[in-house]
Structure 1
Amino acid sequence: MFDKAKFKCKVWQVIPCVCASLTCIPFGLMLGWPSPTYPKLIGTPTSPIPITMDQSALIAGFLMLGGSLGTLFSQKTIGPGTKYGIIMGNVLMVIGWTVMWQAKDIYALLGSRFLIGTGYGYGVGQIRIYIAEMSRATLGQTLMKHLNFYGLLGFVLAYAVGPWVDFRQLSYFSVIIAVFILFLTVFLPCTPKELLLAKKSAEAKKLLAFLKTDSDPEQEVHNLAQSILNPPESVGFSKIMQDGTLRVNFIKLTFLLFCQQYSGAPPTLVYTQIIFEKSQVPYPEVFAICYALLYVIGNVIGTYTVPMLNKKLVLLTSSCFILILLVANILVIYFRVNIEYFQYSSVITLYLFILVHTISLGSIPVMLINEWFPKSCKIFMSQYCFILSLLYALTATKTFQVLMTLYYLYTAFCLCLAVIIFAIFFIIICVPSEIPEKM
């Protein structure tokens, strides 16, 4: 039988969390910005802001640097609670996109990407706290799992819109979206914890009675007050290093993230359209859009199917398949297969590469946090993995660009090939076959 009260309760939990999660879209737009924009800025006589290929990697990296900085402070609230932290993250991204819209030189491009990265890094941490405080545990976990999909929506929008508009129009389009999302976050309701901290216990009790219809509001307010006075323990770097098992798992995860980022996904996503152009693929902007869509599809499949499978087997099988695809792509470029035989050869190999990579190596390392570390380590390890992934992506993109510029396109893919060979041996030796018991 349909329960109207429970339905309203769930809607009241979901809608504010979804509105807060839209914060990820402006970041996703900037994440996808390089692929359609670089061909218009690099070495073209009509470029609004002329940049070199060397500078392109630096510009791409500033988004990662900003994201790393914002993540470091993402657990610190501004003012009464997380709502204001989410607003601050959106304000930074609105400013960042406005700077991009009005940019006249490379310094504005660097500043824009840094601001947007910082706003996202800080804002997404606040969103996670907001979701945890505003929804029940099971629903909250589902909503947090969907966070990445909002960023991916922005990512695909950049690929889909970018090739058909000029530099200023894409930025203006992004400013409008960012301002609209900022407007929504201003009207987000406060969480029960925020109301309690603001000494509005009556309002907090009323909200808790609505959010948790089968619980005692008085007891819920008491439990919340106790959690504020005695927050749960959060284990950091020093405690992890003191524990032998956690230390080993920490090192293994660090190397696994290196393999994830250096095996080719970040640079191919940054330079998608340029790679297809250099490979002599017709309609590179159209095939770049499909590349982005496959990246999204891979994330969806990885999020919902991989947790139910043997992760070592998935990693090992997919890494072998990635190795074959990288070899195939190198041979296609080296022997000019696109020109001499079949002009879509690179499209096939790269499409299969990004799909397999995203489903497996691109998704699994972060999932291992819950299996290799106790709950008290989750906040630190999540921040660590996110920052390390961004820094690895930065250096991997720069290395790929240098090899592609100074030598040949296939040389850059040879680096990815070497990393995936290392990854196969590392997975065989270091990743356990059975999921260990949670500590």
Structure 2
Amino acid sequence: MNYIGGSRYLQYLATISGDLALVTDGMHYGWPSPSLPQLLNNTNSSLSITNSEGALMAVMPLLGAVIGAVTAAYIVDYFGRKKTILFTAIPFFIAWIMVAFASSVIYLHIARFIAGMADGVSFTAIPMYIGEIADPSVRGFLGSSCSISWILGYLLINIIGSYFNIKVTALISSSLCVIAFFTFIWMPESPYYYLMKKKTEKAKESLRRLRANADVDAEIEKINRSIQTTSKARGRFCDLFTVPSNRKAVIIVAGLRGFQQFSGTTAINFYAQEIFKQAGSEVSPKEASIIYFAVMFLMTILSSSIVDKAGRKPLLIISMSGSIFALLVEATYFYLQHKSTLDLSDFEFVPVAGLILFVIFFSCGMQSIPICLLGELFSTSVKAYALCLADVYYSVVATIASKFLQVMMDNYGIHMAFYGFTICSVLGLIFIIFVVPETKGKSLEEIQSFLKGEEYKHAVEMQTMKPKIGNEVNDNIDDALLPKYS
């Protein structure tokens, strides 16, 4: 039987279409960078806000994301991944229209809160969907596309928002929601979801389209066994902490996402133009912020294209090490600028160059890989709850990191914020080296076996057997297996 559209490329098309929701999400998150200066200075806008109102407006999506993530944990397994992702286009669109026609600051707060709720849903459903439709050989790249899309949103909104007023920017941005809805409606549902609902034939049809292969019985059986094995405890949020393999995954994700945010990335993104303004560089804040997000976008694409070859952990180590150096340079420059009498006129390029260097290294791994691991580390039985918890946790730590930057800038100097980010990044590097596992090339089922310690146990058994078996068989046992899982 010939399946129209049945091609591995459908995995890419489904990922691109689903990721459009994350592009508009990134545009909502990046909106304060070009828009807050207009509101604070009352330029190109009929509204005017205070610094405290601006700070609240910047983090409002993070607050809404908590409600959205909790909601998504229940609806993603009830309505399915596809319908949940389609639904996010509606609140994103409503939020942009409210921003365009807001007559008071309160409407802007509400609009960004609504966008935050849609963010909570999208960042729960989309990584899950991509992780379930992708081949293991390209899952790292497709999973990393979530970050690429989100950063593309930051870049687009900084370009559009720098050259148009708030109303026109919002109306242009709202069109992407319409495109996202009417392209993703044609994509297949996750075969995992169909099997969870005992719809085996639909699962086979979906997998045939995604794999371009009429014979998918073996993979369907493998997925089915995995679901049956992990579905006994379905519906129990506490299993994230009481089941050892789930608890291990929670620790890994919480650590990575926490150190990702306390390196300052989201806080810097929110206040990009303000930071460049304080730097006093000859490059205008608008141009510097566009360059910053363009480099972030391109480097994240590069990282995503090599993550399945280079591996997750090496890229994370390189990424965090380079970020530490760049943050230290940035902190030291701002310290000398504000706390010394040195003439830094010949070094005005340093703060812009430092942040560009930071974004180059950070985007090599820390930007995208933690999100990629969200779709890899958790079993089907708790994945919805895990992604919900991860998004709530992200909202909390990103809010704290953003508030930390704003408080430091207002009261102690921006250099203190960057020194704080540097220290947290050093701790993050230690965490990556000693805690984070490598998932390169492993299927979702193999990753679960690793987290349960089954592969390590198997390696121990093989080492124990070696003295008892003949040399011919003995030579075929991989001596590197045991250290690999130590």
TM-score of Structure 1 vs Structure 2, range by shorter chain: 0.7 to 0.9
Tell me which residue corresponds to 1:278: 278
Which runs of structure 2 are paired with 1:41-190 in the superposition (5 Å)? 41-44=39-42, 47-75=45-73, 76-77=75-76, 81-127=80-126, 143-185=142-184
Question: TM-score scaled to structure 1, two decimals?
Answer: 0.81
Question: TM-score scaled to structure 2, two decimals?
Answer: 0.74
Aligned equivalents of 1:42, 1:92: Cα separation in 2: 26
Give the stretch that moved more between structures: 234-243 or 286-295: 234-243
Aligned equivalents of 2:125, 2:30: Cα separation in 1: 23
Question: Contact 2:144–2:372 (CA<8 Å) still a contact in 1?
Answer: no
Q: 1:211 to 1:183 in 2, by over 3 A?
A: closer
Tell me which residue corresponds to 1:295: 296
1:241 aligns with 2:246: no
Q: 1:406 to 1:164 in 2, by over 3 A?
A: same
Give the match's secondary structure for 1:361.
coil
Question: Contact 1:20–1:127 (CA<8 Å) still a contact in 2?
Answer: yes
Give the match's secondary structure for 2:48.
coil
Question: Contact 2:252–2:436 (CA<8 Å) still a contact in 1?
Answer: no
Q: 1:26 to 1:330 in 2, by over 3 A?
A: same
Deviation at 1:189, TM superposition (A): 6.5
Q: 1:16 to 1:324 in 2, by over 3 A?
A: closer
Aligned equivalents of 2:370, 2:139: Cα separation in 1: 21
Give the match's secondary structure for 1:335.
helix
Aligned equivalents of 1:330, 1:225: Cα separation in 2: 49
Deviation at 1:359, TM superposition (A): 2.0
Tell me which residue corresponds to 2:442: none
Aligned equivalents of 1:255, 1:200: Cα separation in 2: 37
Deviation at 1:16, TM superposition (A): 4.9
Aligned equivalents of 2:372, 2:192: Cα separation in 1: 29
Tell me which residue corresponds to 1:351: 356
Aligned equivalents of 1:122, 1:159: Cα separation in 2: 24
Tell me which residue corresponds to 2:336: 335
Give the letter for the 2:428 counterpart: A
Q: 1:96 to 1:5 in 2, by over 3 A?
A: same
Give the match's secondary structure for 1:9.
coil
Q: 1:114 to 1:231 in 2, by over 3 A?
A: farther
Tell me which residue corresponds to 2:435: 431
Deviation at 1:295, TM superposition (A): 1.6
Deviation at 1:342, TM superposition (A): 2.8
The total of aligned residue pairs comes to 434
Give the match's secondary structure for 1:55.
helix
Give the match's secondary structure for 1:215.
coil
Give the letter for the 1:388 counterpart: Y
Deviation at 1:298, TM superposition (A): 3.1
Percent pairwise identity: 23
Tell me which residue corresponds to 2:261: 261
Give the letter for the 1:393 counterpart: A
Aligned equivalents of 1:140, 1:86: Cα separation in 2: 19
Give the match's secondary structure for 1:49.
coil
Deviation at 1:206, TM superposition (A): 7.0
Give the letter for the 2:352 counterpart: V
Tell me which residue corresponds to 1:38: 36
C-alpha RMSD of matched pairs (Å):
4.3
Give the match's secondary structure for 1:23.
helix
1:401 aligns with 2:406: yes
Aligned equivalents of 2:207, 2:435: Cα separation in 1: 43
Give the stretch that moved more between structures: 115-124 or 95-104: 115-124
Q: 1:199 to 1:150 in 2, by over 3 A?
A: same
Q: 1:125 to 1:213 in 2, by over 3 A?
A: same
Deviation at 1:286, TM superposition (A): 0.6
Q: 1:311 to 1:130 in 2, by over 3 A?
A: closer
Give the letter for the 2:114 counterpart: L
Structure 2: 5+ residue stretches without partners:
440-446, 453-486
Give the match's secondary structure for 2:72.
coil
Q: Deviations over 1:2-49 (max 9, x none)?
A: xx9578411556545533332222112112211111111114466432
Deviation at 1:170, TM superposition (A): 0.7
Tell me which residue corresponds to 1:410: 415
Question: Contact 2:127–2:375 (CA<8 Å) still a contact in 1?
Answer: no
Q: 1:166 to 1:340 in 2, by over 3 A?
A: same
Which runs of structure 2 are paired with 1:352-367 in the superposition (5 Å)? 352-366=357-371
Give the match's secondary structure for 2:347.
coil
Give the stretch that moved more between structures: 142-151 or 30-39: 142-151
Deviation at 1:194, TM superposition (A): 9.1
Q: 1:297 to 1:16 in 2, by over 3 A?
A: closer
Give the letter for the 1:341 counterpart: D
Give the letter for the 1:42 counterpart: L
Which runs of structure 2 are paired with 1:307-326 in the superposition (5 Å)? 308-309=309-310, 315=316, 318-326=319-327
Q: Deviations over 1:337-395 (max 9, x none)?
A: 79522321111111101221232433444556688766755544443333312221111
Tell me which residue corresponds to 2:466: none
Deviation at 1:147, TM superposition (A): 3.3
Deviation at 1:319, TM superposition (A): 3.9
